[in-house]
């Protein structure tokens, strides 16, 4: 009679030690399985990218809108920038990108961009305070 330690009845290896289960266990513990950790980091990066693009998009829509709607678009622009700043620090360049976009494609010069939309640019720069407080 064989002992019941390594083999079960009938001379077969127990299911817990079978090769498919062992392979699955090895794959579960393998260092390549970092997706669950990196997914969290990439999710914050994607969310920041969304808010970055939304900031620029809302500025573009606000710059081309009539006088009644441009305030709503600019308010959404500042809100998206603030949410992006709360998501990731890389968002710090967004107010500068909006200013450069304004100078290159909308106003034609920094002086004209500042004259027409100084309040928006100050509000966008004020979102940097969130980074200063959290840093």
Q: Over the stretch 55-106, which tens digit does the pLDDT of each residue have?
A: 999 999 999 988 889 999 999 999 999 999 999 889 999 999 999 999 999 9
Show the tokens assigned to 22. Answer: 């062992």
If pLDDT is split at 50, 70 and 90, which confidence band does 37 have?
low
pTM over 0.85: no
Where are the domains positioned within the chain?
14-134
Higher-confidence residue: 9 or 54?
54
Is the pLDDT at 135 greater than 70? The verdict is yes
CA-only gyration radius of the chain, Å: 28
Higher-confidence residue: 65 or 20?
65
Spatial distance between the Cα atoms of 91 and 81, rounded to a whole number of angstroms: 8
Is the pLDDT at 110 greater than 90? The verdict is yes
Is the pLDDT at 4 greater than 60? The verdict is no
Greatest C-alpha distance within the chain: 96
What's the pLDDT score for residue 42?
Answer: 75
Q: Over the stretch 42-59, which tens digit does the pLDDT of each residue have?
A: 788 889 999 999 999 999
Spatial distance between the Cα atoms of 129 and 91, rounded to a whole number of angstroms: 12
Higher-confidence residue: 74 or 2?
74
Q: What is the dihedral of CA 107, 123, 77, 109, to 10 degrees?
A: 10
Name the percent of the chain lying above pLDDT 90: 56
């Amino acid at each position: 009679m064989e002992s019941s330690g390594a083999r079960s009845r009938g001379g077969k290896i127990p299911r817990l030690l079978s090769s498919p289960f062992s392979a699955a266990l090895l794959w579960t513990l393998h260092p390549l399985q970092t997706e669950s950790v990196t997914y969290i980091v990439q999710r914050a990066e994607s969310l920041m990218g969304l808010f970055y693009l939304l900031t620029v998009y809302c500025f573009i829509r606000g710059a081309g809108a009539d006088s009644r709607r441009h305030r709503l678009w600019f308010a959404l622009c500042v809100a998206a920038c603030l949410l992006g700043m709360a998501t990731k620090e890389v968002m710090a360049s967004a107010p500068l990108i909006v200013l450069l976009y304004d100078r290159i494609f909308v106003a034609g010069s920094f002086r004209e961009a500042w004259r027409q939309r100084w309040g928006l640019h100050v509000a966008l720069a004020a979102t940097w305070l969130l980074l200063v407080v959290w840093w």
